[in-house]
Amino acid sequence: MSGQLIGAEGSMVPPMGNRSSGTDDAAARPGTTAETNAAANTGSNVGAQLPALPWRVPLDPAPWWAWTLFVAPFIAVPALNSWLWMGARDFLAVGLFTIIGASVVRVAGGVVLYRVEITATALKARTSLLVRSLAWQGVDDIEIVDGSVVLASGKDENEINGIAKDQTVYAAAVMQAARDSADNQPVRRTRPRPGIGVVCVLAYLVLAVGAFLYRWQLV
Residue 138, C-beta contacts closer than 8 angstroms, at least 6 positions apart: 153, 154, 187, 189
Instruction: Please give, one letter per residue, the 3-state secondary structure of 61-109.
Output: CCCHHHHHHHHHHHHHHHHHHHHCCCCHHHHHHHHHHHHHHHHHHHHHH
Instruction: Please give, one letter per residue, the 3-state secondary structure of 140-177.
Output: CEEEEECCEEEEEECCEEEEECCECHHHHHHHHHHHHH
pLDDT tens readout for residues 20-59 = 444 444 444 444 444 434 544 555 555 556 788 889 999 9
Element (H, E) at 130: strand 130-135
pLDDT score for 14:
35
- pTM of this structure: 0.69
Widest CA span of the chain, in angstroms?
Answer: 69
Question: In which band, very low, low, confident or very high, does the pLDDT at 212 lie, cut at 50, 70 and 90?
Answer: confident
Residue 130, C-beta contacts closer than 8 angstroms, at least 6 positions apart: 192, 193, 194, 195, 197
Q: How far apart are CA 10 and CA 181, in angstroms?
A: 12
pLDDT tens readout for residues 110-161 = 899 899 999 988 999 998 888 988 989 888 899 998 888 999 988 888 899 8
